[in-house]
Structure 1
Amino acid sequence: MLVAVFFELLWLDFIPVGTFIPPHTTAATFTALALCSYFGLDSLPLASLALAAGLPMAWMGTRLERIMRDRLNRSYSGVLQWVRKPADVAVPGRLLMWTLISKLLANWLFFLIGAGLLASAVHFVLHQYGPTLASCRISWSELLLAASVGGLLALRLRSLYVALAGGGIVLGVLRLLGIF
């Protein structure tokens, strides 16, 4: 549940209006959960690696959705031609069935290939840096707080943007000076 909340908070700023396709949070969440399950990542520091690995799937899923929508424009042209000259009653049903099957196959292939590639990358990182990652101290509240920046950005207030940037710079300087 917290994995899904993390991705929703992270991309709360992206409001799907008009032709904008938001990040594919389902692909990111499903991939992160699959990687956690496959590698047995039950501690949060290690699970955060799976969360980070799931992020590219959201953007690639958006690109896949754009490609599939462009392909559906051709099907729409076929439906318009059928409406003008309805020669065969089964044309809309065939177009709908083909659309559903192609979308199902494309999404599953996308997930299997993407998750497979990410699994090999996660395996490498766990092999090289697993003990270091496991020793990190992080909690869900810290992770969700970082993801909630997406919700703050959704407010669209310039003064908030300035305050966030200024706070980030101050924290960075304090961290470099060893104070924080």
Structure 2
Amino acid sequence: MKKIVALGVSIVLSAELAALSLHDRRFVLWAAGAAALFALVNVRQVLGADDDPPPPPSENALEESLRGWLSRTQTLIHRSESTRADWDRHLRPMLARRFAIATGQKQTKDPTAFDATGRTLFGAELWAWVNPNNVAQTGAREPGPGRATLQEILERLEQV
């Protein structure tokens, strides 16, 4: 970019010097204008090269995106209906992160306000499944809360 600008300035100056050396001075303005136009066109080409619009996504990419979303959703539903250990390992961190983002509360700043906001938003029963501090150490055999609980939690998060 710097080279093109320097080249444009040097072309304008050389065109003006060449026109000034002539006896007929009415060509000075035309020569300087043509050289400036040349420089601006080159600068615009360099700057315009980055502004090309990205190619539209192909139908294959859209299908793959939809399949990925469907797969992740099915995995979430499966984990919600399996054991509490799966819920604690996979769903609880995701739900707690989404809750923190949606409400702006950070557990590390004020744990009491974080807990109070969670209880207010979800109620005591649902907050027990979102609260990141409620991980059971022996929940490998206990059943998870199920799909209905996950749906209710996600609906309340959407309302924030």
- After TM superposition, the score normalised by the length of structure 1 is 0.28
- After TM superposition, the score normalised by the length of structure 2 is 0.31
Question: Which structure has the greater CA radius of gyration?
Answer: 2
